[in-house]
Structure 1
Amino acid sequence: WGRNQNGQLGLGSTEDSLVPQKIQAFQGISIKMVAAGAEHTAAVSEEGALYGWGWGRYGNLGLGDRNDRLVPEKVSTLNGEKMNMVACGWRHTISVSDTGRLYTYGWSKYGQLGHGDFEDHLVPHKVESLADSFIKQIAGGWRHTMALTSDGKLYGWGWNKV
């Protein structure tokens, strides 16, 4: 509930909601994790499917374009990997597969995607520099990203200004 200017509530409209409402698009689908960015939302189902909706201008929905979505839509470009967790930054999204691989997509003006460039990515891309690590926790900030590995190493990247 709350502001819904770009459809981030997943209700099929851009009308604000003052009370909690059930997301009808998930009828019959069990969701195990949800994350909210500035104006977009992402979720992972119990079956490992990844979904995105809301404001998509920077590809932060992972759906291959820059369009907004008013209802959750399944991300289909994951090479068969099942997702285990998801986090949102301001305009980017981070997900981890059940094998511990880290994926990021969306806005990368400050390098917060971790791909060694400043290019927006419209679909999830594996973070190659952490390909040999098993990621167990993630967090997205305004212009940065954090990841914790199974062996207790903490990584951060993106904007690092005070």
Structure 2
Amino acid sequence: MRWFGFGFNAFGQIYVHDKLIKGECSDAVKQVKVISPTELASHVDRSDCCLKTDGQIRASWSRRASLHLGGDSCVCLGGFGAVIASESCGISMKETPGCKDAFISELYLTLAFPDRIESWDLQKKEKTPSWSMEIKTESSGPPLNLPLVPGGYIATKPPFYRPLSPQLKAKSLALSAEHAILLSASGAVYTWGLGSHGQLGHGDLTSEEQPRAVEALWGMPMSCVATGGWHSVCISDGGDLYVWGWNESGQLGLPSRGLRKAPQQQSSQQAGTPCQDASTFPAEEPREGEKHEDVFISIQAFPALLDITPSCEIRAVSCGCRHTAAVTTTGDLYTWGWGDYGQLGHQTLISSDEPQLVEFFREQQMRVVDVVCGAWNTFAAVVKEEVACS
């Protein structure tokens, strides 16, 4: 399996130029925007494990964590603070053998071991984790994946451990900066946190302090959940994709006035603030005298079925801050939403409110098997195989 990345690369999360490794950190060398899918290990030969292509990828805005499973399992970082440092943000390779899972935010890297959970402060050069807790692996049921841990979950900031009711029987959990979406063992979906953009899916814009079932999905078992800056998605057992929340950049794949009315207008968002508040963007209300034939959606407060392709089911989905990526069961990758950094993989900087096939992988006769979105970039895992779906 090989990993490719595209999109925001100001800190070398995707492509590390030889000159950048040598310390020549000019803006021209940094290659801020990678608009064409680029193999993570194809441009520079380094002995550390950060650029190997096996295992899994975890991504935040400025960093990428590579999780290598197997006998020599370890975790190492690429991106901010890890380009020319021999040790990634103080975390040495000798500290991570035996790690089974990882979860990264802008401030902390959380590692799961068979007997403990550790959170490392990425802003410090300490040789010990800033927080840890012992865990007892439950003998019954499948193993939990971060941020879930026995009895609760690990948050992106202190207090790290947050309890969950055992009645929820959590199977997986996706966290954004301000809201959460949980999948139960029965396939039910629960959300809580900030609801100002309809990202909780309850039909209103109110927030929830405790997990609340998304009633619109009740009775339709789901198999996967994901969350972006202010939007949420899930995949049903039948391979259907449901979306809800904010659609200012077309991240739901629904008609966006901002994209339809001004397709060439670029976002004024600046690097350094991965998910700005909605108040910094214009509302999508109809102007006086404007025709009402076209229906535009700024906020979708209820889950909506998104038909990506009639001939293929969806097997995996991931959300960036304002873009979304989905993999079909036949190995095609579709992306949509904000594209100012090339994070859609269409080799342009154009945003889209319609799911579009990433042609690169089909042209290279590669089958996409997984996708992971950072805030402003995308990582795809592929195998060499001709895609049959048309």
Please, what TM-score do these two structures have when normalized by structure 2? 0.38
- Residue identity matched to 2:360: S
Matched, 1:145 2:378: yes
Q: Structure 2 residue aligned with 1:113, among 344, 348, 355?
A: 344
| Counterpart pick for 2:228 among 28, 37, 42 | 37
Structure 2's unaligned 5+ residue stretches are 1-191, 257-296, 385-390
Supply the distance in 1 between the matched residues of 2:309 and 2:302 (Cα, whole angstroms).
Answer: 20
Quote how far apart the aligned CAs of 1:8 are. Answer: 0.5
Q: CA deviation at 1:87?
A: 0.3
Greater helix content: 2
- More divergent stretch after superposition (58-67 vs 48-57): 58-67
| Deviation of 1:3 (Å) | 0.7
- In 2, the alpha carbon distance for the partners of 1:2 and 1:51 equals 19
Separation in 2, partners of 1:106, 1:80: 22
Residue 126 of structure 1 and its aligned partner are, at CA, apart by 0.6
Which of 366, 379, 389 is residue 133 of structure 1 equivalent to? 366
- Point out 4+ residue stretches in structure 1 off by more than 6 angstroms: none
Residue deviations 1:70-119, cap 9 Å, x none?
Answer: 01100124243211111000100000001111000000010100001111
Aligned to 1:87: 318
- The residue number in structure 2 matching 1:28 is 219
Deviation string 1:32-85 (CA, Å, 9 cap, x unpaired) is 011000000111111111111100001100123352100110012424321111
Change in Cα spacing, 1:89 to 1:20, as seen in structure 2 (3 Å) is same
Specify the alignment match of 2:181 in structure 1.
Answer: none
- Residues 1:60 and 1:97: Cα distance change in structure 2 (over 3 Å): same
Measured after TM superposition, the shift of residue 136 of structure 1 is 1.5
- What's the secondary structure of 1:150's corresponding residue? strand
> In the alignment, which residue of structure 2 is the partner of 1:64?
255
Partners of 2:374 and 2:298 in 1: how far apart? Answer: 22
Matched letter for residue 378 of structure 2:
T
* Cα distance in 1 for residues equivalent to 2:332 and 2:253: 16
Measured against aligned partners, the alpha-carbon deviations of 1:120-162 in whole angstroms (never above 9, x if no partner) come to 11111110001221112211111110001135xxxxxxxxxxx
TM-score, scaled to structure 1: 0.89
Larger RCO (alpha carbons 8 Å, 6+ apart): 1
Q: Quick one: distance in 2 between partners of 1:134 and 1:14?
A: 39
AA aligned opposite 1:6: H
Task: For 2:357 and 2:243, locate their aligned partners in 1 and report how far apart those are by CA, in whole Å.
Answer: 17
Q: Deviations for 1:10-39, whole angstroms, at most 9, x for unmatched residues? A: 111110000000001112211101100000
Structure 1 counterpart of 2:178: none
1:3 corresponds in structure 2 to: 194
Partner AA of 2:367 in structure 1: F
* Contact persistence 1:52–1:63 (CA under 8 A): no
Between the aligned partners of 2:242 and 2:216, the Cα distance in structure 1 is 11
Q: Which amino acid aligns with 1:136?
A: V
Distance 2:327 2:255 in 1: 18
- Which amino acid is the alignment partner of residue 86 of structure 1? V
Per mean C-alpha deviation after superposition, the further-off stretch among 83-92 and 131-140 is 131-140
Q: Is the 8 A contact 1:48 1:82 kept in 2?
A: yes
List gaps (5 residues or longer) in structure 1.
152-162
What value does the CA root-mean-square deviation take over the aligned residues? 1.2
Indicate the SS of the match to 2:216: helix
